[in-house]
Structures are given as structure tokens and as C-alpha cells.
Amino acid sequence: MLTFSRERLAFLLVILIIVPSVFMIKSSQAEEATELLTNGNFDNGTFGWLSYYIDSGGEYDADDGYLNMWISQSSPVSGMKEHGIGVRQVMDRRDLTFDLTFSLSVRPEVSHRQSSPSSLMPTLVRSRIELYTLTGDAFYLVYHFLWAASELRDSEPNTAHFLKPAGTYAWKQYIIDVKKDFEKEFGSSSSYNIERIEICLELAQISVPFSIPRALWDNVSLICGIAATPTSTPTPTQTFESTTSQITTTQGPTAQIVPTSTFPPEAIFWIGALTAVVAISAGALVYLTGRRRRAYPSRTTASVRRISPVRVQTIEELMSLDDKVYAYISDHGGEISWSQGCRDLGISTDELKASIERLKKAGRIE
């Protein structure tokens, strides 16, 4: 018959407390967000994306690390119908929710006469999010990056249009709260369960173009969970804005980051949890030491079994990194370059993105 001393039981208790705690911390951070799109930065060409024609169609490639769409002047035109090119990606999975953050960078390269709402031959640069529910309903969120006059004349059911002017010949990144936009147009999302999502990027033209219109796309992301962080774009300097929201080059509007003194609530929770674990572990060690000293009073030195310390680095190191990133942003007046920031801080782009997101969620920056 197996027997266990009280010291061994106490040791096992400590292990059973520490190991699940460390696992919960790391797994919770890993499960906070899920990237739904494949190859959103087009590093692998158009892998994961399906192309389609709008009427007579257009052309595209992804040879330079971003998606390049254009409409040739030789493309046949049928009356005043739209014609152009689009790509889409379909996500069909069971864990979809309305907690979606859609982000992308776009650069329209269109002449002034083709980008004006009053033009007879407008160019349409847009992205569409299609949400399909278990009850058979379909909702469409259409984001226009030049103008939306032609679409706004339409009256498709369950379709909402949003104008996000991007200007021309300059990269601009947007971060969009899909749930917020959905509920603004269609009411509460709690009545629906999503079974499929489709993301579409489109360039369309009405009539024959005066010149070849182009639309460049990069860093397209759809995250289910926490809000997305700004991702790197082919621009030298970016500024953060707290609208629905957008990141622009220095050619666009700018807004300073406003530091606040609030402390991240997630950090407070996990610090409390870790403190409790450490306290219990320390108590168990004190108990073990006392037991051995009472069992062997004649010895000048007690042989105490030492438990190898478990390295819990997540919260403390993240807090140190967040403080460094926060100080770096403040020192640079609220405007940073992704590549330069990574080099100065000695971290990867993903670590910088995650740190900025935590600072935004904590309310330390906007």
C-alpha cells in the first residue's frame, strides 16, 4: 500500500497550484484573439484569396508584397454598369462571433476627375464584410474609401454603407469595430449567431477611365476577440486616431497620443492571482521547513528540499515592455515609425503591436 508523508502532499499541492496558474495565464493570452484571415499581408501572393470579375473585369497581382488592382483602358464597358476586379476570402467556422476587428491599409491611385463624387466616371475603391447567420439572414457592411454616392442610391436589404475617405496616392490604415458598426445600423447583435464571414476587396469603374485607376491593399486583418493593433504599412511615419479608427501618414490628419494614469485591469487581476500563488507557495515552504526542523532538532543545519522556482515571466515582463513602449511613444510626441521603433526598442513588430494594443485597452493612449 502506498503511503505519502505530509511533506510530499504539501509539495504536490504547491505544484498543482502553480502549474495550472502559469498555464492559464499563457493560454488566456493566446486565446484572447484569433486571426481569421489567411495571408492578409500578401507575402505569399494571393494565396488564400479568390478573385472575381465585376462585369467585364480588371487585373491584379501581388508581386510586391501587397495586392495591386487596376482597370485597363482597354477593358470593354457595358453602358453605365460597374466593371472591375475583386478578391474575397471566406471564413466558415463554428467559433465566429460579432466581436470582430477589421483592419486594412489602402492606397487609391486615381486621378482627381475620377475620385470626385460629381464625376461622370467615378472610381470605386471599397471593402465589403458579409455576415451570414444560422437563421439564414445575410448582412452587408460596405466601406468606401473614395466616395459612396452611387451605392447610396441603391436600397439593398440589410446593407449599410460607410464612407472612409482615404485620399489618393498615400497609404492609409483603418481599424474598424465591426460589432459597433453592425449594431449602429441593424440593432443588437445578440439575436444572431454567425456561421460564415466573407471579406471582399474591390476596385470598380463606371464607364471608360481617363487613366488607369489602381487600388493597393495591404495588412488586411480580421480578428475575432480583442481589438486589433496597428500593423506595419509601407509608410514612413504614422499617427494614431481614436475614431473607428484610422492610422494615416503624415499627409493626413494627426492626433497626439494622450497619456493617462490608468493601470491595466488585466494586469491587476493577474498580479493578484500571482500574488496568491506565491503566498500559498511560500506558506507551503515554511510549513515544510518547520516540519523538518522539528523532526531533526539535533542537527545544526536542516536539509530542506528546495523546490525549483517556476519562472512566471508573462505579466512582469509585459508590464516592463509596455512601460518602455509607452515612454518611447511619449518621447516621440505620439508619432512613431514601426520599423524604427522595433529597432530602437529591440523587439519584433508583433511584440510592438501587442504592446500598443494593451496600452490602448488600458486607456493609457488613444
pLDDT at 80 (0 to 100): 67
235 assigned to some structural domain:
no
49 assigned to some structural domain:
yes
Domain range for 97: 33-225
Q: Is residue 292's pLDDT more than 90?
A: no
Q: Indicate whether 263 and 181 sit together in one domain.
A: no
pLDDT at 6 (0 to 100): 61
Q: What is the number of alpha carbons within 13 Å of residue 224 lying toward its C-beta? A: 16
pLDDT at 249 (0 to 100): 42
Q: Indicate whether 28 and 43 sit together in one domain.
A: no
pLDDT at 134 (0 to 100): 94
245 assigned to some structural domain:
no
Look up cell 491584379; give the residue.
60
Q: Which of 33-47, 274-288, 306-320 has the lowest mean pLDDT?
A: 306-320
pLDDT at 297 (0 to 100): 53
pLDDT at 77 (0 to 100): 59
Q: Which residue has the higher pLDDT, 63 or 263?
A: 63
pLDDT at 175 (0 to 100): 96
Q: Indicate whether 283 and 137 sit together in one domain.
A: no
Write phi, then psi, for 25 (nearest 5 degrees): -65, -50
Tell me the CATH number at 133.
2.60.120.260
Q: Indicate whether 347 and 221 sit together in one domain.
A: no
- Domain end call among 225, 248, 283: 225
266 assigned to some structural domain:
yes
Is the Cα dihedral 271, 277, 280, 283 positive or negative?
negative
pLDDT at 188 (0 to 100): 95
Q: Which of 86-95, 139-148, 241-250, 300-309 has the lowest mean pLDDT?
A: 241-250
The pairing of beta strand 67-70 with beta strand 238-240: unpaired
What are the angstrom distances between the C-alpha of 239 and each of 120, 332, 333?
A: 34, 11, 10
Which percentage of the chain shows pLDDT scores above 70? 62
What mean pLDDT do residues 23-28 have? 51
What mean pLDDT do residues 177-201 have? 96
Q: Indicate whether 106 and 221 sit together in one domain.
A: yes
- Domain end call among 182, 209, 225: 225
pLDDT at 97 (0 to 100): 94
- Domain end call among 225, 242, 271: 225
- Contacts from 242-247 at CB under 8 Å and sequence distance 24+? 242/366, 244/174, 244/175, 244/176, 244/177, 244/180, 244/181, 245/174, 245/175, 245/176, 246/164, 246/172, 246/173, 246/174, 246/175, 247/172, 247/173, 247/174, 247/175
Q: Indicate whether 130 and 142 sit together in one domain.
A: yes
Query: How many domains, the chain?
Result: 2
Q: Indicate whether 12 and 137 sit together in one domain.
A: no
Q: Indicate whether 39 and 68 sit together in one domain.
A: yes
pLDDT at 236 (0 to 100): 37
Neighbouring CB atoms inside 10 A of 260's CB total 12
pLDDT band at 192 (very low <50, low <70, confident <90, very high): very high
Q: Indicate whether 178 and 314 sit together in one domain.
A: no
State pLDDT tens for residues 323-357.
Answer: 888 888 888 888 888 888 898 888 898 988 898 88
Provide the mean pLDDT of the chain.
76
Q: Is residue 117's pLDDT more than 60?
A: no
Q: Indicate whether 107 and 48 sit together in one domain.
A: yes
What mean pLDDT do residues 156-164 have? 89
Listed ranges 113-122, 213-222, 267-276, 323-332; the one with the highest mean pLDDT: 213-222
What mean pLDDT do residues 230-256 have? 41
Q: Which of 130-139, 178-187, 229-238 has the lowest mean pLDDT?
A: 229-238
Q: Which residue has the higher pLDDT, 100 or 364?
A: 100
pLDDT at 43 (0 to 100): 95
pLDDT at 102 (0 to 100): 97
Q: Indicate whether 271 and 319 sit together in one domain.
A: yes
Q: Indicate whether 145 and 40 sit together in one domain.
A: yes
138 assigned to some structural domain:
yes
132 assigned to some structural domain:
yes
- Among 195, 57, 182, smallest CA distance to 132 is for 195
